[in-house]
Amino acid sequence: MSQGKETTVLVLSLLVTAGIAGGGYWFFLQQKSAVVPATTATPATTATPDSSSQPTPPVLTSANLNLDTSLPNPSVLGIDGSTAMVALVKDLRNAYSQVNPNIPTTYGIPDGSPGGSNQGLKNLIDGNISIAATSRPLKAAEAQAGIQLVPIAKDAIAVVVGINNPFKGNLTKEQLRDIYQGKITNWSQVGGANQPIRVINRATTSGTREAFQDIVLLGQGFAPDSPNFITWKQDETTAILRDIGDSGISYATVSQVEKQEIVRIIAIDGVLPTDVNAVKAGKYAISRSLFLGVKKITSPVSKQFIEFALSPQGQQIAQRLGFISVQ
């Protein structure tokens, strides 16, 4: 081959190689520019919370208790809800009747027996009562239904065993979680006697149960019912305490059990719920707020009752019953 032809072939080869390389580089740039926006946009999309599953309960305090009171006063101020708040609501009602004797109050429908936090909030949404007493925050659907909560006291949930139970120690929060999730099933696993643990859970309508599940089980499920895992059908404390016996365990608001002679309160992580200062300081693991709930548009007397619960007299009633003041 002549030198001129060799030069021509060499030039053509170089041009083809450059074209291929340039085309590949152009293709890479096009692909990169197409991928980058999708990659950078993904975190913003996945980070957006699902508002339908995120409870955002409006909570009012004595400082911002700005309710629309354009509804007429009812002939009877109906209240329903938490069984943990029975004594508190009862004493508030009795004291409030001295302030406003013209409007009687009731707690629990239809027969004067409160049906638990869930039922109380449902009755409020359905318009059957004026105020709901609840020992748990609102769920998303309840907040969307226009319910507003006002914390009126703080409370601790006590874990109890039978007075004659050989177990004399304390439990960690993790051990308590394992008991209620069926991972610890014998008292010997926590330093007690070799006997099965009878786990007694509160009814599904119980606000105390939901608070216990959120705080202790971190929102996870309870163990399935078995011969040694009993879920009470109604939200009642006295019957549960009688059923604990020598091998059972259960829980209730501390004011309902601290003076009972048939059960003993167990310390959690070395702290007792009867230590008010420890509860205030957040050193006791299982505590919560107690609320009164109303609709956004309510009556003057409903607001007046809540204001009374937040007053010095109302807060003294809460403290006398073993609850912690929110003021």
**Who contacts 269 (Cβ-Cβ below 8 Å, separation ≥6)?**
170, 172, 173, 285
Is the whole-model pTM more than 0.85?
Answer: no
**Who contacts 214 (Cβ-Cβ below 8 Å, separation ≥6)?**
136
Q: DSSP per residue over 152-204, as a string?
A: EEEEEEEEEEETT-S--S-B-HHHHHHHHTTS--BGGGGTS-SSB-EEEE--T
Q: Hey, do 55-155+288-320 and 156-280 end up sharing a CATH topology, with the first three levels equal?
A: yes
Tally the C-alpha atoms within 13 A of residue 201's C-alpha that lie toward its C-beta.
Answer: 27
Give, for all 327 residues of the chain, the pLDDT tens digit: 444 444 333 333 433 333 434 443 333 333 333 333 333 233 333 333 333 334 444 566 655 778 899 999 999 999 999 999 999 999 999 999 999 999 999 999 887 889 899 999 999 999 999 999 999 999 999 999 999 999 999 999 999 999 999 999 999 999 999 999 999 999 999 999 999 999 999 999 899 999 999 999 999 999 987 789 999 998 889 999 999 999 999 999 998 999 899 999 999 999 999 998 899 888 999 999 999 999 999 999 999 999 999 999 999 999 999 899 987
Q: 3-class SS at 119? A: helix
Whether domain 156-280 has CATH 3.40.190.10? yes
Whether domain 55-155+288-320 has CATH 2.40.30.30? no
| Residue showing tokens 């719920």 | 273
CA 132 vs CA 158, 194, 245, 302: distances in Å: 23, 44, 33, 10
- The domain ranges of the chain are 55-155+288-320, 156-280
With contact defined as beta carbons under 8 Å apart, do 148 and 294 qualify? yes
